[in-house]
Amino acid sequence: KQMYYEAKVMELIILFFQEEAFCSEHLHRSMDSIDIKKLQKARAIILHCLDNPFSIKQLAKKVGLNEFQLKKGFKQLYGTTIFGLIRSERMEKAAWLMKVEGYNVSETASIIGYSNFSNFTVAFRKHFGCNPSDYLKQMHINKH
């Protein structure tokens, strides 16, 4: 009976990995290499212009895709939305500013473009799982 269950578990594992391989292969077949290059260019532009990001419309025009293709393809290729990437990168920059440059929370929020302190705190908590002030405290504890 135990061998039967082990065999069924192995069968499920194999099916899972076959499904993953199929989905991955299907994703890249459904996007041609030109679109992938355009999406990679869009990502590079986003990362280069984090302080003053383009609108979706502007970015789509810049890389030669329509807005739908840009949003859908970006999500497929990178597993996140354009806004998700921008928010994530800004939060990583915020953490770096506090950790390395020594800025306090309100200075950091202002530097990365948040005029509303509570919006910054919510975004930071969503990304790191703790408030920026708790993150700073943890940094000070780890230094000593």
For the stretch 85-96, pLDDT in tens is 999 999 999 999
Residue 82: burial class (beta carbons within 10 Å; 0-12, 13-18, 19+): buried
Dump pLDDT digits (tens) for 41-59.
Answer: 999 999 998 888 899 999 9
How many CB atoms are located within 10 Å of the residue 70 CB? 23
Dist. CA 139–CA 114, nearest whole Å: 22
pTM greater than 0.75: no
pLDDT score recorded for residue 18 = 65
For the chain, give percent helix, strand, coil, nearest 5.
Answer: 80, 0, 20
Whether residue 27 is predicted with pLDDT greater than 70 in this model: the reply is no
- CA dist 37 and 85 (Å) reads 18
